[in-house]
Amino acid sequence: MDLSTTIAGVRFPSCLMNAAGARCVTREELEALGRSHAGAIVTKSMTVEPRQGNPEPRYHGFPGGSINSMGLPNLGYRAYAQLIPELRKFKKPVMASIAGFSDEDFVTIAKAINESRPDLVEVNLSCPNIPGEPQIGYDANSSERLLKRVRKVVSVPMGVKLPPYFDPAHQEKMVRVLERVGVDFLSLINSVGNGLVVDPDKECVVIKPKGGFGGLGGALIKPVALANVRAFWKLFGGRLPIIGTGGVVTGADAFEHLLCGASAVQIGTTLVEEGLGTFERLEKELAAVLEKKGYASPSACRGALREL
Ligand code: DHB
């Protein structure tokens, strides 16, 4: 089955791709994504300067999901600006994820990266792991001020990666911001920030940074991810493409995201745990689900979730 999809006029050969952060920091990792069945190459969120990130251990997988506090380890935007033109040879979209510690940072990175012509830019408003830095996406006014400046310097399709919201009023407020800014797609959701995983045998936290607090991902966050995909899909009347991220372990999970309104799906924890073979497995599983249910393509079931 053809699992391709189109987002903001960009064609993806498969609707399944990596989530920013998952196996996408180095040249080697990005090239490996290029050679894999991933439908796109999404970069690690990049900052102005290269970063080592937080002290280790900073990622921990467990049966229900994962917790991480990586602290934005990345090569710095100049390295990615050089790499992006080379990644075009893999004939799949390249999506540059950008982050920063100030509005100035975002604008500097956005300008330079836009010139390297990625197929899309994903503006990350939702990194939960920098000590002392709140997630921008939880402050509507800061988000609007920042996005208006970034929008001015990005001419390729620009999307926003948002944190999970737990109240419809927050989603409605963000929708009004996004309408005023003019964004081309949404990536929903980033990790559920500042969770805590405890090892009761060792009576200890499982990651070192921030006293053990970190972003949750994987199976346990799927209902939160689906709720945000569905809420934003409805608030935009199905007119803004959404990339669903969160809790995709099987093809059926990806199908659930599509039903809620996603046009494509990103894989984080499962890709980190299982490796690049994830994409082929999920492709087969998703195709089998769609076939069994009589859907000819991923877009045929987009948003089709029934309510009681
Ligand atoms: C990191 C984690 C995130 O969830 C994110 O959006 C960006 C960066 C990190 O800790 O590296």
What is the Cα Rg of the chain in Å? 18
The DSSP call for residue 52 is -
pLDDT tens string 177-210:
999 999 999 999 999 999 999 999 999 999 999 9
Active site residues: 127
Q: How far is the CA of 231 from the centre of ligand 1 (A)?
A: 23
Q: How far is the CA of 101 from the centre of ligand 1 (A)?
A: 12
Q: In testing the pocket of ligand 1, which one of 26, 44, 70, 106 has its CB within 8 Å of the most ligand atoms? A: 70
Q: Atom 2 of ligand 1 has which residue's CA nearest to it?
A: 127
Q: Atom 6 of ligand 1 has which residue's CA nearest to it?
A: 127
Give the chain's count of helices (H) and strands (E). 9, 16
pLDDT tens string 230-278:
999 999 999 999 999 999 999 999 999 999 999 999 999 999 999 999 9
Q: How far is the CA of 175 from the centre of ligand 1 (A)?
A: 23
pTM here?
0.98
Q: Across residues 76-84, what is the average pLDDT?
A: 98
pLDDT tens string 142-180:
999 999 999 999 999 999 999 999 999 999 999 999 999
Whether residue 192 has its Cβ less than 6 Å from ligand 1:
no
**126 near 157, Cβ under 8 Å?**
no
Level-2 CATH architecture, domain 5-53+72-193+221-300: Alpha-Beta Barrel (3.20)
pLDDT category of residue 130 using cuts at 50, 70 and 90? confident
Q: How far apart are CA 42 and CA 38, in angstroms?
A: 10
- Measure CA of the first residue to CA of the last residue in the chain; give whole Å: 30
Q: How far is the CA of 263 from the centre of ligand 1 (A)?
A: 23
Whether residue 190 has its Cβ less than 6 Å from ligand 1:
yes
Whether residue 116 has its Cβ less than 6 Å from ligand 1:
no
Q: State the greatest distance between any 2 C-alpha atoms of the chain, in Å, as a whole number.
A: 53
Whether residue 72 has its Cβ less than 6 Å from ligand 1:
yes
